[in-house]
Amino acid sequence: MNELDLLVESAREQFARSATPADLENAKAQFLGKAGRVTELMKGMAQLSVEEKKTRGAAINLAKQAIEAALNDRRQALQDAQLQAQLKAEALDVSLPGRKQGQGGLHPVSLTLERIQGIFGSMGFDVAEGPEIEADWFNFTALNTPEDHPARSMHDTFYIEGGTPGAPNLLRTHTSPVQVRHAVQHVKQHRALLDAGQSMPEIRVIVPGRTYRVDSDATHSPMFHQCEGLWIGENVSFKDLKVVFTAFCRTFFESDDLVLRFRPSFFPFTEPSAEIDIQFQDGPLAGRWLEVAGSGQVHPNVVRNMGLDPERYIGFAFGMGLDRFTMLRYGVNDLRLFFDGDIRFLSQFQ
Ligand code: DAH
């Protein structure tokens, strides 16, 4: 290696050792500055002959260019490193999963109710609601269940301050009181027609809502949900009850071969009365009879309490457990899961 090659080599080394742009500029001054080594070499040519100056000058120039190239490379490298460091420091990790906005959904019992409303809506039923704190009269007496009636003992509930002496208000034990509440309003609305001896529009309504009883186990909860049905007109028969409820159940369970059984029973507010059982033909519940509703022809005393003449108006009613329908539809075997509020359970229905 000649002296110039050594110079270039030493410049490269110095540049490589410069860790910052400022270091690099200092190193540059040592080689290319006014008092730098290359400048010295140039000055050293003064005594040379013209021929020698040419070859020497060209050689020095090549060395100078090599040093400049090394300088530029190093400058670039430092700039790149700085940029990389900055990018790294300011980096956004877009690969992190975002924060999810938890999406709510309907409770399975609400999904069931929506489904029931849709099916009965398609058969011309309105939806009515009533109070959960109910008067003794609507919950019992108006439904042909006077104070000393033994059927009351099956409907023990929570009593609330208020009401009349001996007949305190209570948390309603079923949605049936809304039959009378709704019918009374309906009759009031059509009073003029009735007074003129004309026909009033039929009452065709379902009544979903919360109900309460002193009951608690895997299939009973002190608070539960029912849905009542009522159809009153001048010519509504028990046969219509069978047609309507059968069509409803087959649509609800999406099973055309579902079998229904209307089993004679007793309710004070219907005569005759029937409990309705269903039987799936296949699936895990195939062959078993499952009770899903109470029903019957509305008792003349109840029709009278609605403000209607039982000689002219007749119809049927039914009452079913919304929670029971939800359990059957989704194959849930413990009712309490619906009311625990455990998101792991509830989110399965979305
Ligand atoms: N209210 C009854 C109960 O909770 C169910 C019921 C039975 C409702 C017969 C009705 C009916 O409308 O006609 O046990």
Report whether residue 176 contacts ligand 1, using a CB cutoff of 6 Å.
yes
Per-residue pLDDT of 64-118, as tens digits, reads: 999 999 999 999 999 999 999 999 999 888 888 888 888 889 999 999 999 999 9
Pair 252, 326 in one domain: yes
Task: Give DSSP secondary structure letters for 289-312.
Answer: EEEEEEEEEEPHHHHHHTT--TTT
Report whether residue 228 contacts ligand 1, using a CB cutoff of 6 Å.
yes
pTM for the whole structure:
0.73
The rounded Cα 243 to chain-centroid distance in angstroms is 34
Domain count, the chain: 2
The one-letter code for the residue type at 85 is A
- Are 244 and 124 in contact by the 8 Å Cβ rule? The answer is no
Beta bridge partners of 264: 274
Q: Give me the percent of the chain exceeding a pLDDT of 90.
A: 80
Report whether residue 295 contacts ligand 1, using a CB cutoff of 6 Å.
yes
Atom 12, ligand 1: residue with shortest CA distance? 318
pLDDT of residue 231: 98
Report whether residue 130 contacts ligand 1, using a CB cutoff of 6 Å.
no
| CATH code of the domain containing 233 | 3.30.930.10
Does residue 99 lie in a domain region? Answer: no
**Where is the domain boundary, 62, 89, 116?**
89
Please give the number of the atom of ligand 1 that sits closest to the Cα of 143: 1
Atom 8, ligand 1: residue with shortest CA distance? 319
| Residue of 176, 223, 236 with the most ligand 1 atoms within 8 Å of its CB, for mutation | 176
Residue-number span of the structural domain to which 268 is assigned: 108-349
Pair 137, 181 in one domain: yes
Does residue 103 lie in a domain region? Answer: no
- 270 Cα–ligand 1 center, Å: 8
Per-residue pLDDT of 136-171, as tens digits, reads: 999 999 999 988 888 888 888 989 989 998 899 999
